[in-house]
Structure 1
Amino acid sequence: MKNLVFIILPLALLTAVLGILAGLFRIGWNGPLAVSHLAMYHGIFMTGGFLGTLISLERVVAFKKKIAWAAPLLMGLSLPTFLLGEPSAALILLLTGALGYLLISISIYLNHNHKGNLFLVIGALFQLLALGVFYWLYSYPMAMAAWFLSFLFTIIGERLHLSSFLPVSRRQFWILYIAAGVAVVGTALYHFFSALPASLGFAAVALWLLKNDLIKVVYPKRGFYKYLGVSLTAGYVWLLLFALLSALPSKSPWHYDAVVHSFFAGFILNMILAHGPIIFPAILGVQGKPFHNAMYVALVLLNLSNLCRIMADMYQIPVVRKWSGLFSGLAFLGFVLVMAVLMLRLRFNFRVQKTLVS
């Protein structure tokens, strides 16, 4: 069944490419008419088709039951279904895959009672909720709150797993639980009360991660671990900025764009750049952590271009928003290309070593 990786992962990455192209159309770039109609699916491509498929694939690789592979496969197959002009069927595939991922996450938590697994279950639940809201209402703004919570809890869960060796006190964990709870309750009250409670919750989580994650451990190191510390720090700073932007009273489309992209292009993409050398070898069964200093180019370009986009949104400068969006997309695609080359080199070196030993 692991051969399905070579079907599912390309589908996820192709969805990301088309999602980026759709986003570029939305901010004013021209493209082929055959593809430009996908602009309306930019958000669902990135949140469901790409991130949803990638996250569920990562979990399934370590799961023993073969039926679990259906979850990321269904989510990945949403892309050709969208391209065939069947958005309702594509959304049902995403919903079914998300339900499967939730059941897998619950099963893993019941068998391995780890704090990180609990956060991953909650993240999976909010992913299913977000897709359900989008399916019924076809509204990004109405579904976006659940997506924020889904990926927040997923990142927390992943970080708790990867930094479980750190000495974090019970008191600090309770602070994290309270901060995450405030984010959930505040988000639920957003349309009825104020954005401030949710913003305080997200900000508290960002500050907790900056204090308790392994950033201070990896900064003195070199190579991949230094890069990991820089990219994690950038992601958590973006999460803090997202919280601050969310607290502003403005309801303009420009402000909405700044809030959404401070979270996804800032926080989430930095997390992907940080975890890429960990996730992709685990998915593909390749030993080692691929790293090259060229990855810093993508990291710097992503953060500078996204900062320009946020400033362009705040001051309503369309041309800067247009170009910054292009460079953010190029930064992510450049990172994927570098990762692909490094992964091929790792696999080739492993095969050569295996041949010499045998």
Structure 2
Amino acid sequence: MNPRVALGGALVACVAASLLAGIAGGLLRVGIALPVAADAPWLTRAALSHAALMMCGFMGTVISIERAVAFKHAGAWLAPLSSGLAALALLADAPQLAALLFVLGSGVFVTVNVLLLRKQPAAHTALLLASAVAWFTGNVLLALGASSTAVLPWWFAFLVVTIAAERLEMTRLMRRRPGAQLALHLVLALLAWGAALSALAPRAGGVLFGAALCALSGWLLAFDIARRTVRAEGLSRYMAVCLLSGYVWLAIAGVAWACTALGLGARDIALHALGLGFIVSMIMGHAPVILPAVTRVKLQWGNFFYLPLAALHLSLIERLAAGSFNFQLRAQGALFNALAIALFAATAVGAALAWRQRHGPRRVTSTRP
């Protein structure tokens, strides 16, 4: 078998296993078990490792794949391969091996980003390196046995700073007010400071981290190009709707994160307004552009992409608003969250098939949007 085909198949399997197990584990955490696997040992492990599977096994591997495609060097593929195998190790009840593989993968990822920054010195590539360092830091803390209070802010910082860097790159030609880019860097520095402080002083660190999330939401709402493209048509408007709605969830997550640090019962809101409301909205918005660039398979745009987006936001409202007062509604909202993600995956597959049927088996030639 062609080594590239074998590697691609292995990575797809790791990504799929991480996502499916992470979702299944998340559902179990709110009392919903899959009937076909209710007694499976891996399901309990998936529930215990829900955050690691979703943020490192799934998102970390996907982002590493995108960066390896951009870097165009065989060694860069060690990062996604390591993080993907780490997810499988978690499911196989080998947490120490998984932690070491996460450290290895994120360490390689930092090296790749250092080399990319040397090749393309720019503000957004510097932020991408900072995000890689955040992921590596969180993984080292995991390997050292640190608590989730110390690890989770670094993992979220990895994803949040990655998104901020991508938005900075995609809007680099926009005119901004003087000091706007400096303000962004200051906000992200506060985010890193909050993550670091969370291990030593969880109350102060959590408040600072939440405040930085709110400030980042304000920056994005003020300066992102989505404010203009929301008045466009077709794919541009869809992406803008995804982005702007995600920025609102980012602000909600920031407030909830600070409230949680102060002892109020807003942990589920903090984690999932950020993880689902913000990050998954960004995935839905960027997927029609990023997926063709990475997989060379083009998607046929259509208004049907709005269906999973609407399902995600409505299910989040049920889970985080109504679910704050009723555990059954919270569990039902979590189930609908999972169905919204499944609907988006089905929509993407359907869009790829529709493009192929309309245009034939031609492939995308560009590597970046």
Larger mean Cα displacement after TM superposition, 35-44 or 273-282: 35-44
* CA displacement 1:97-121 (0-9 Å, x = unmatched): 1111111111101110111111111
> Where in structure 2 are the equivalents of 1:100-139 lying within 5 Å?
100-137=108-145, 139=147
**Alignment partner for residue 36 of structure 1, among 20, 40, 43?**
43
Paired residue type of 1:84: A
Matches of 2:19 and 2:173, distance apart in 1: 33
Matches of 1:70 and 1:45, distance apart in 2: 18
Matched, 1:15 2:51: no
**Alignment partner for residue 194 of structure 2, among 174, 186, 189?**
186
Matches of 2:258 and 2:185, distance apart in 1: 21
Matches of 2:131 and 2:305, distance apart in 1: 28
**Alignment partner for residue 229 of structure 1, among 237, 240, 255?**
240
Larger mean Cα displacement after TM superposition, 217-226 or 136-145: 136-145
Q: Paired residues, what number?
A: 352
Matches of 2:277 and 2:285, distance apart in 1: 12
* Structure 1 residues 2 and 281: CA distance shift in structure 2, 3 A: farther
Matches of 1:259 and 1:353, distance apart in 2: 43
Q: How many angstroms does 1:9 deviate by?
A: 3.0
Structure 2 runs not aligned, ≥5 long: 364-369
- Which residue of structure 2 aligns with residue 275 of structure 1? 286
**Alignment partner for residue 182 of structure 2, among 166, 171, 174?**
174
**Alignment partner for residue 48 of structure 1, among 41, 49, 56?**
56
**Alignment partner for residue 329 of structure 1, among 330, 338, 357?**
338
Larger mean Cα displacement after TM superposition, 299-308 or 251-260: 251-260
- Which residue of structure 2 aligns with residue 344 of structure 1? 353
Q: How many angstroms does 1:46 deviate by?
A: 0.2
- Which residue of structure 2 aligns with residue 285 of structure 1? 296
Paired residue type of 1:320: L
- Which residue of structure 2 aligns with residue 87 of structure 1? 95
8 Å contact from structure 1 (residues 306, 328) kept in 2: yes
SS of 1:166 mapped into structure 2: coil
Larger mean Cα displacement after TM superposition, 84-93 or 37-46: 84-93
Matches of 1:6 and 1:221, distance apart in 2: 38
Matches of 2:176 and 2:167, distance apart in 1: 13
**Alignment partner for residue 205 of structure 1, among 212, 216, 224?**
216
- Which residue of structure 2 aligns with residue 296 of structure 1? 306
Matches of 1:248 and 1:312, distance apart in 2: 18
Larger mean Cα displacement after TM superposition, 294-303 or 43-52: 294-303
SS of 2:321 mapped into structure 1: helix
Matches of 1:76 and 1:290, distance apart in 2: 29
Q: How many angstroms does 1:66 deviate by?
A: 1.1
8 Å contact from structure 1 (residues 17, 333) kept in 2: no
Paired residue type of 2:78: A
Q: How many angstroms does 1:160 deviate by?
A: 1.2
**Alignment partner for residue 78 of structure 1, among 83, 86, 90?**
86
Larger mean Cα displacement after TM superposition, 11-20 or 263-272: 11-20
Q: TM-score, normalised by structure 1?
A: 0.91
- Which residue of structure 2 aligns with residue 262 of structure 1? 273
**Alignment partner for residue 318 of structure 1, among 327, 348, 357?**
327
Q: How many angstroms does 1:251 deviate by?
A: 5.8
8 Å contact from structure 1 (residues 224, 289) kept in 2: no
8 Å contact from structure 1 (residues 254, 313) kept in 2: no
Matches of 1:71 and 1:162, distance apart in 2: 25
8 Å contact from structure 2 (residues 79, 108) kept in 1: yes
**Alignment partner for residue 216 of structure 1, among 202, 227, 237?**
227
* CA displacement 1:24-69 (0-9 Å, x = unmatched): 0110012321143221111110011000000111111121211111
Matched, 1:99 2:126: no
8 Å contact from structure 1 (residues 43, 140) kept in 2: no
* CA displacement 1:284-339 (0-9 Å, x = unmatched): 113x4542222211111111111222224543x21011000000011011101111
Structure 1 runs not aligned, ≥5 long: none
- Which residue of structure 1 aligns with residue 252 of structure 2? 241
8 Å contact from structure 1 (residues 235, 271) kept in 2: yes
8 Å contact from structure 1 (residues 281, 343) kept in 2: no
* Structure 1 residues 222 and 5: CA distance shift in structure 2, 3 A: farther
Matches of 1:266 and 1:227, distance apart in 2: 16
Q: TM-score, normalised by structure 2?
A: 0.89
Matches of 1:9 and 1:253, distance apart in 2: 40
Paired residue type of 1:69: W
Paired residue type of 1:71: A
Matches of 1:225 and 1:122, distance apart in 2: 28
* CA displacement 1:191-220 (0-9 Å, x = unmatched): 526243333222111111111111123112
Paired residue type of 1:284: T
8 Å contact from structure 1 (residues 98, 127) kept in 2: yes
